[in-house]
Amino acid sequence: MERLLHNYPYMVAVVLFVLGVYTILSQENLMKKIIGTNIMSSAIFLLFISAGNIAGGSPPIISKGYVPPEGVVLVNPLPAALILTGIVVSFSLTAFALSIVIKLHDYYGTIEADEILKLRSEL
Amino acid sequence: MWAWLASHPAALVVFMLMVAVSMPVLAHFRPLLCVYTACFAVGLALAGSLHLALLTLRGEVLSYAVEGWSPPWGIEVVVTPLSAFMLVVITAVSLCILVYSIASLEQEIPPGSIGWYYTSFLLLLAAMMGLAMANDLFNIYVFIEVSTIAACALVVAKNSKAAAEAALRYLLLAIVGSGFILFAICLLYLITGHLNITFTARALAGVYQQYPFLTWTALSFFLVGFSIKAALFPLHVWLPDAHSSAPAPSSAVLSALTIKIYAVVLIKLFFPLFGLQMLNETYLRHILLLMASLAIVAGSLFAFVQLDLKRRLAYSSVSGIGYIFLGIGLGSQLGLAAGILHIFNHAIMKACLFLSAGAIYRQTELRQVNRLQGIAFSMPVTMAAFSIAALSMVGIPLTSGFISKWYLSQGSIAAGQPIFIGLIVLSGILNASYFLPIIWQAFFVVDRQQPKTITLDAIPFSMLAGQVILAVAVLFFGFWPGFPLSLAQKAAAVILP
């Protein structure tokens, strides 16, 4: 139990991931679905970043010949670099999805998935 | 040149990316310039891929460390026989599709977006080639996202209501799928501290006993993610709309190549990382077999009830992907080789079928399968190509579809599960039940009112050429399956020794 509390970012990440997937699958509003994808990807970024972090660690910015003094630990820089890419990917997916939603709004005048389905079946 | 390519295989991906971004500029001067450049570039990539394939057939494994950073730290690109096989399939089939699109595309999408269409097309090719070669987990994630965006762009390019709706559904489900994949990659990185597949596999073998639950979670998240991406049966819901509402060249490339590259990545991850033993222990292999069997039967049944020709073909892709996962799930070297071989055979058949459906729509504006009576009299070449590919889907001997079914049957005997032969025969009968009526109507049901004169197809030559090359390939590789078969066997032998 203490270990769980100590690693609370992991728990938050898992809860957020589940919430995000649930939002995508359950909401009818297309904007809410897209918000769900963002919650889901943020959860994974949180998991990745918190995995690379060390409590009390200092930023991994070093120059040539630098030796960290005794007792100073540097956090893992790799997850931060990866997640930077992940954020860009998530941003472009969101932008693309929003542009399709705008198109759908032009066609149907609504962004509710169930109303679009009804309008389509009437055609 | 060739030796340089062998030591720098990633150059293929970079080359495709560079050609992709040049497309809108070329379209600014003349739209046709785009497609000719794209054909030329993909032709060059095909030559390069064939060279790499011949090298890997000789037993060489080509690896390249990006920027000279050696594997555990840097990004590594490895060309195994499986990668080389996939590179050849991607470039060869997309070359035929590009030739077809020379004349077909201007009718299907707004003229202003032709340059951007080819940008998305080549980005998709570059991402798929990258997926075939990448040996780094995070690289695989990035390429998956690039291919997702490019594939959705190819669907939405049609600029119709149905296409926009299908593309959004595809995009949302694909985001869920890649979320699961990234989660699994993150878990593997937490456990092992590596992103390179070779090193992750080595580290995972050591720490698996310590973290069994995290490993199983990663394994199942990979399965869910890739099943959504590859449209394996219960998670195929996005596929029929997306593939049937897209323009004909997009449908062909999405159905023939994009869903299969995820099966290849699944093979690349599952067998080296987790190994056959863990797949057996967690019953994941049995789940794969169950899902594949359901996909084969249910895909055919759904296809049977569709009246729209392109939707029928799209559901038939659901059953096609089932064959590939059946080959993976059998867990024997022969079965895996058959599954890999079916990737190639299904790609040429399904691309040919979608291109023919596009040609039929172009000439007659017909999409309903029950209105195609006597159509072979007005478009004999198209219907001949369609029939060859459809008979190959059924599995008639001397077509390439028969070869992959034959080896799948042998694989299921070798794996000690001959029950799957029954499944393959049943699926052949189901395929026949929804393809043969179309062929029968087209060739033999004649309207009494109309004269029975045979006229050649009234569609541009390049559209005919794309289909005919693919149909000839279906026949050719039905007679002489040597090259793809030996490459597939080599690939399976490397993965499952």
DSSP A24-61: HHH--BHHHHHHHHHHHHHHHHHHHHHHH--TTPBP--
Count of other CB atoms within 10 angstroms of residue A117? 13
**List of domains in chain A:** 2-54+76-122 (1.10.287.3510)
With contact defined as beta carbons under 8 Å apart, do B489 and B337 qualify?
yes
Res B158: pLDDT: 85
Joined together, the tokens standing for residue B113 give 């977006």
Is some CB atom of chain A closer than 8 A to the CB atom of B171?
A: yes
Which helix (H) or strand (E) segment is B76 a member of?
A: strand B76-79
Q: How far is Cα B239 from Cα A100, in angstroms, rounded to an integer?
A: 18
Spell out which chain A residues touch chain B, with contact meaning CB-CB distance below 8 angstroms: 17, 20-21, 24-25, 30, 33-34, 37, 40-41, 44, 47-48, 51, 78-79, 82, 85-86, 89, 92-93, 96-97, 100-101, 103-104, 107-108, 116, 120
Name the β-bridge partners of B77.
Answer: B64, B134
Q: In terms of pLDDT, which residue wins out, A111 or A98?
A: A98
Q: What is the mean pLDDT of chain B?
A: 89
Please name the residues between 131 and 150 in chain B that touch chain A, using a CB distance below 8 Å: 138, 141-142, 145, 148-149
Can you tell me the distance from the alpha carbon of B390 to that of B394, in angstroms, rounded to the nearest whole number? Answer: 6
Query: Which of B266, B200, B191 has the alpha carbon at shortest distance from B228?
Result: B266
Please answer whether residues B457 and B468 qualify as being in contact, where contact means their C-beta atoms are separated by less than 8 angstroms. Answer: no
Give the tokens for residue B340. 């890999």
Of all residues in chain B, the one with the smallest CA distance to A51 is B190
Closest CA to B55 of B81, B22, B25: B81
CB B115 within 8 A of CB B28: yes
> For residues A96 and A85, what is the distance between their CA atoms, to the nearest angstrom?
17
Residue B1 has pLDDT above 80, yes or no: no
Q: Are strands B76-79 and B62-65 parallel, antiparallel or unpaired?
A: antiparallel
With residues binned 3-state (H G I as helix, E B as strand, rest as coil), the percentages for chain A, rounded to 5, are: 70, 5, 25
How much is the pLDDT for B451?
60
CB B228 within 8 A of CB B235: yes
| A24-79 pLDDT, tens digit each | 989 889 999 999 999 999 999 999 888 888 777 778 777 887 777 777 788 888 88
Name the nearest CA neighbour of B94 among B225, B261, B208: B261
In chain B, what percentage of residues exceed pLDDT 90? Answer: 44
- The per-residue pLDDT for A71 is 75
Determine, for residues B164 and A24 on separate chains, whether the beta-carbon distance falls below 8 Å: no
Average pLDDT over residues B457-471: 87
Q: How many CB pairs under 8 A join A and B?
A: 75
Q: What is the pLDDT of residue B346?
A: 93
pLDDT of residue B448: 64
Which token pair is B132? 């075939």
pLDDT at B98 over 70: yes
What six digits make up the tokens of B431? 């395929």
pLDDT digits (tens, 9 = 90+) for B383-428: 999 999 999 999 888 889 899 999 999 989 888 888 889 999 999 9
Question: Stretch B318-333: mean pLDDT, rounded?
Answer: 90
H runs (alpha helix) in B306-377? 309-330, 333-364
* Burial class (CB within 10 angstroms; exposed 0-12, middle 13-18, buried 19+) of B67: exposed
- The distance of B23 to chain A (nearest Cα, Å) reads 20
Token pair of B406 as six digits = 């034959």
B225/chain A closest Cα distance in angstroms: 12
Tell me which residue of B155, B220, B212 sits closest to B181, measured CA to CA.
B220
Q: What is the pLDDT of residue B449?
A: 64
Q: How confident is the model at residue B343 (pLDDT cuts 50, 70, 90)?
A: very high
Least confident range of A52-56, B7-11, B127-131, B260-264:
A52-56
**H or E element that contains B223:** helix B212-230
C-beta separation of B142 from A89 below 8 A: yes
Across the interface, whether the CB atoms of B189 and A85 are under 8 A apart is answered no
- pLDDT per position as a tens digit, B435-457: 998 888 888 877 666 666 777 77
Residue B141 reports pLDDT greater than 90:
yes
Whether B470 and chain A come into contact, CB under 8 Å, resolves to no
Spacing of C-alpha B477 from chain mean position:
17
Q: Which residues of A touch B142 (CB under 8 A)?
A: 85, 89
Confidence at B263, pLDDT banded by 50, 70, 90:
very high
Task: Record the pTM.
Answer: 0.93
Angular region, B159: left φ>0, alpha ψ -120 to 50, beta rest:
left
Locus of tokens 């994941």: B284
Query: What does the pLDDT read at residue B42?
Result: 93
Asked if pLDDT for residue B142 goes beyond 90, the answer is yes
> Within an 8 Å CB–CB cutoff, is residue B176 touching chain A?
yes
For residue A37, which residues of chain B lie inside 8 Å, CB to CB? 172, 175-176, 179
Which residue among B138, B167, B172 places its CB closest to the CB of A24?
B172
pLDDT at B2 (0 to 100): 78
**Number of Cβ within a 10 Å radius of residue B377:** 18
Interface test with A, best of B182, B222, B235 (most A CBs within 10 A): B182
Mean pLDDT of chain A: 87
A108 contacts on B by Cβ (under 8 Å): 161
By the 10 Å C-beta count (0-12 exposed, 13-18 middle, 19+ buried), B70 is classed as: exposed
CA distance B13 to chain A (A): 19
Judged by CB atoms closer than 8 Å, whether chains meet at B145 and A93 is answered as yes
> Which secondary-structure segment (H or E) carries B63?
strand B62-65
Average pLDDT over residues B187-215: 88
Single out the residue of B472, B308, B457 nearest to residue B382, CA to CA: B457
pLDDT at residue B144, as a whole number: 94
Question: Do B142 and A104 count as a contact with CB atoms less than 8 A apart?
Answer: no
Is residue B85 within 8 A of residue B487, CB to CB? The reply is yes
Give the helix ranges, DSSP H, for B365-399.
Answer: 380-394
Q: How far apart are CA B477 and CA B31, in angstroms?
A: 34
The confidence score (pLDDT) of residue B121 equals 93
The predicted structure's pLDDT at residue B450: 63
